Amino acid sequence: MKIFIGADHGGFELKEKIKDFLVKNKFETEDTGSIVYDKTDDYPDLTINLAQKVTATPGSKGIMICGSGVGACVAANKIKGIRACVCHDTYSAHQGVEHDNMNVLCLGGRIVGYELAFEIVGAFVRAEFSNEERHIRRLEKVLKLEN
Ligand code: RB5
């Protein structure tokens, strides 16, 4: 499964650490930028870049990091087909995939430390949608809102 990872300047340092973690754990990983630290970059530009890659690559997931995770999450959810959330705990990171088919995890580079972030990312990338009837029904209702 392909994992796209991106960040603005607020999440750049954590992105680099998580990228190493994913590669070390043999996940196919693509950095969608920012590739170099740029304190003037804007999270909507970088988030849209990542979100479009996720929607264009069936079965993929994205990890988007800004200072708090909030801006990235707000922007990502504007893209059709994206179900993004800020998760700073492991339960939400896997349950969000299992029940809600979350496909983009947003993190705050100024909020979580590396070790907790690695555990959250691990929970997110390993989780799969449950395909249970009640969750499919609820997701169809979300899809109706999107459309
Ligand atoms: C950038 O300074 C910061 O505002 C951004 O990374 C993010 O936290 C927005 O939600």
Predicted confidence at residue 113, as pLDDT, reads 98
Q: Under CATH, to which class is 2-146 assigned?
A: alpha beta
Please tell me the distance between residue 67's alpha carbon and the centre of ligand 1 in angstroms: 4
Nearest CA residue ID for atom 7, ligand 1:
67
Residue 66: active-site member: yes
Distance 135 CA to ligand 1 centre (A): 32
**H/E segment holding residue 138:** helix 133-146
- Give residue-wise pLDDT tens across range 78-102: 999 999 999 999 999 999 999 999 9
Residue-level pLDDT at 45: 98
pLDDT in tens, 111-138: 999 999 999 999 999 999 999 999 999 9
Q: pTM value?
A: 0.98
Q: 38-74, pLDDT tens digit by residue?
A: 999 999 999 999 999 999 999 999 999 999 999 999 9
Classified as helix, coil or strand, 87 is coil
Phi-psi region of 26 (alpha: psi -120 to 50; beta: other; left: phi over 0): left
